[in-house]
Amino acid sequence: MNIAALVTWLVTALGGFYMLGTWIARGGVRGGNSRLPVPVIFGHFLLAAAGLVVWIVYLFTDTGALAWTAFGILLPVALLGFVMFARWLTVARTPSVRAAGAPGSAQAGAAPESSFPVPVVLGHGLFAVVTLVLVILTALQG
Protein backbone atom coordinates (compact mmCIF):
# COMPACT_ATOMS: atom_id res chain seq x y z
CA MET A 1 0.00 0.00 0.00
CA ASN A 2 2.90 2.37 0.71
CA ILE A 3 4.29 1.92 -2.82
CA ALA A 4 0.80 2.40 -4.27
CA ALA A 5 0.60 5.70 -2.38
CA LEU A 6 3.93 6.73 -3.88
CA VAL A 7 2.72 5.88 -7.39
CA THR A 8 -0.56 7.77 -7.00
CA TRP A 9 1.32 10.69 -5.43
CA LEU A 10 3.68 10.82 -8.43
CA VAL A 11 0.79 10.65 -10.92
CA THR A 12 -0.93 13.44 -8.99
CA ALA A 13 2.28 15.47 -9.11
CA LEU A 14 2.52 15.05 -12.89
CA GLY A 15 -0.95 16.49 -13.34
CA GLY A 16 -0.09 19.27 -10.92
CA PHE A 17 3.12 20.12 -12.76
CA TYR A 18 1.23 20.27 -16.04
CA MET A 19 -1.36 22.66 -14.60
CA LEU A 20 1.28 24.78 -12.84
CA GLY A 21 3.29 25.06 -16.05
CA THR A 22 0.18 26.00 -18.03
CA TRP A 23 -0.83 28.57 -15.41
CA ILE A 24 2.65 30.15 -15.38
CA ALA A 25 2.90 30.14 -19.20
CA ARG A 26 -0.46 31.90 -19.47
CA GLY A 27 0.62 34.67 -17.10
CA GLY A 28 -0.74 33.42 -13.78
CA VAL A 29 2.28 34.56 -11.79
CA ARG A 30 1.84 38.11 -13.02
CA GLY A 31 -1.58 38.19 -11.40
CA GLY A 32 -3.79 39.68 -14.05
CA ASN A 33 -7.20 38.11 -14.02
CA SER A 34 -6.34 34.76 -12.47
CA ARG A 35 -8.79 33.64 -9.83
CA LEU A 36 -6.11 31.48 -8.23
CA PRO A 37 -4.01 33.47 -5.75
CA VAL A 38 -0.26 33.08 -6.20
CA PRO A 39 0.35 32.18 -2.51
CA VAL A 40 -2.32 29.46 -2.66
CA ILE A 41 -0.86 27.96 -5.85
CA PHE A 42 2.71 27.90 -4.58
CA GLY A 43 1.70 26.92 -1.03
CA HIS A 44 -0.14 23.91 -2.47
CA PHE A 45 2.85 23.00 -4.63
CA LEU A 46 5.49 23.41 -1.91
CA LEU A 47 3.53 21.53 0.75
CA ALA A 48 2.76 18.69 -1.67
CA ALA A 49 6.44 18.44 -2.65
CA ALA A 50 7.51 18.48 1.01
CA GLY A 51 5.00 15.76 1.81
CA LEU A 52 6.27 13.66 -1.07
CA VAL A 53 9.84 13.97 0.21
CA VAL A 54 8.69 12.94 3.70
CA TRP A 55 6.85 9.97 2.18
CA ILE A 56 9.95 8.85 0.27
CA VAL A 57 12.02 9.08 3.46
CA TYR A 58 9.29 7.07 5.22
CA LEU A 59 9.58 4.36 2.55
CA PHE A 60 13.31 4.02 3.28
CA THR A 61 13.09 4.21 7.06
CA ASP A 62 9.68 2.64 7.82
CA THR A 63 9.23 5.11 10.69
CA GLY A 64 5.55 5.42 11.55
CA ALA A 65 5.92 9.04 12.65
CA LEU A 66 6.97 9.96 9.11
CA ALA A 67 3.83 8.37 7.65
CA TRP A 68 1.73 10.47 10.02
CA THR A 69 3.80 13.55 9.20
CA ALA A 70 3.18 13.02 5.48
CA PHE A 71 -0.54 12.66 6.18
CA GLY A 72 -0.49 15.82 8.29
CA ILE A 73 1.17 17.70 5.45
CA LEU A 74 -1.39 16.35 2.99
CA LEU A 75 -4.32 17.82 4.92
CA PRO A 76 -3.54 21.49 4.14
CA VAL A 77 -2.50 20.43 0.62
CA ALA A 78 -5.98 18.96 0.15
CA LEU A 79 -7.63 22.05 1.63
CA LEU A 80 -5.71 24.38 -0.68
CA GLY A 81 -6.48 22.09 -3.61
CA PHE A 82 -10.18 22.18 -2.81
CA VAL A 83 -10.09 25.99 -2.64
CA MET A 84 -8.40 26.15 -6.03
CA PHE A 85 -10.85 23.64 -7.50
CA ALA A 86 -13.80 25.71 -6.30
CA ARG A 87 -12.29 28.86 -7.82
CA TRP A 88 -11.45 27.02 -11.04
CA LEU A 89 -15.08 25.84 -11.36
CA THR A 90 -16.25 29.43 -11.71
CA VAL A 91 -13.80 29.92 -14.57
CA ALA A 92 -14.64 26.59 -16.23
CA ARG A 93 -18.39 27.29 -16.09
CA THR A 94 -18.13 30.75 -17.65
CA PRO A 95 -18.12 30.32 -21.44
CA SER A 96 -16.78 33.81 -22.10
CA VAL A 97 -13.51 33.11 -20.28
CA ARG A 98 -12.83 29.53 -21.29
CA ALA A 99 -10.13 30.15 -23.84
CA ALA A 100 -7.85 33.09 -24.43
CA GLY A 101 -8.49 34.83 -27.70
CA ALA A 102 -6.45 37.23 -29.79
CA PRO A 103 -5.29 40.45 -28.14
CA GLY A 104 -8.13 42.96 -28.08
CA SER A 105 -10.81 40.29 -28.42
CA ALA A 106 -13.49 39.69 -25.82
CA GLN A 107 -11.62 36.58 -24.67
CA ALA A 108 -8.14 38.12 -24.48
CA GLY A 109 -8.52 38.61 -20.74
CA ALA A 110 -9.25 34.96 -20.02
CA ALA A 111 -7.97 33.62 -16.72
CA PRO A 112 -4.83 31.46 -17.12
CA GLU A 113 -6.56 28.56 -15.40
CA SER A 114 -9.26 28.54 -18.08
CA SER A 115 -6.73 26.59 -20.19
CA PHE A 116 -6.65 23.61 -17.82
CA PRO A 117 -8.13 20.54 -19.53
CA VAL A 118 -11.06 19.19 -17.52
CA PRO A 119 -9.70 15.57 -17.56
CA VAL A 120 -6.38 16.77 -16.08
CA VAL A 121 -8.13 18.70 -13.30
CA LEU A 122 -10.44 15.80 -12.47
CA GLY A 123 -7.66 13.22 -12.71
CA HIS A 124 -5.42 15.31 -10.46
CA GLY A 125 -8.17 15.54 -7.87
CA LEU A 126 -9.08 11.86 -8.08
CA PHE A 127 -5.49 10.70 -7.70
CA ALA A 128 -5.02 13.17 -4.84
CA VAL A 129 -7.97 11.68 -2.95
CA VAL A 130 -6.69 8.14 -3.56
CA THR A 131 -3.24 9.22 -2.34
CA LEU A 132 -4.69 10.71 0.83
CA VAL A 133 -6.65 7.53 1.55
CA LEU A 134 -3.64 5.27 0.90
CA VAL A 135 -1.40 7.40 3.12
CA ILE A 136 -3.85 7.36 6.06
CA LEU A 137 -4.40 3.61 5.67
CA THR A 138 -0.64 3.03 5.65
CA ALA A 139 -0.17 5.26 8.71
CA LEU A 140 -2.93 3.41 10.55
CA GLN A 141 -1.26 0.06 9.84
CA GLY A 142 2.08 1.23 11.24
pLDDT at 24 over 60: yes
What is residue 106's predicted lDDT score, i.e. its pLDDT?
43
Give the H/E segment covering residue 16.
helix 2-25
Nearest to 85 by CA among 113, 110, 107, 50: 113
pLDDT in tens, 82-134: 999 999 998 888 765 444 444 444 445 788 999 999 999 999 999 999 999 99
What is residue 33's predicted lDDT score, i.e. its pLDDT?
86
Q: Is the pTM of this model over 0.95?
A: no
More confident residue, 92 or 2: 2
Q: DSSP class of residue 34?
A: -
More confident residue, 34 or 133: 133
Mean pLDDT of 58-80: 97
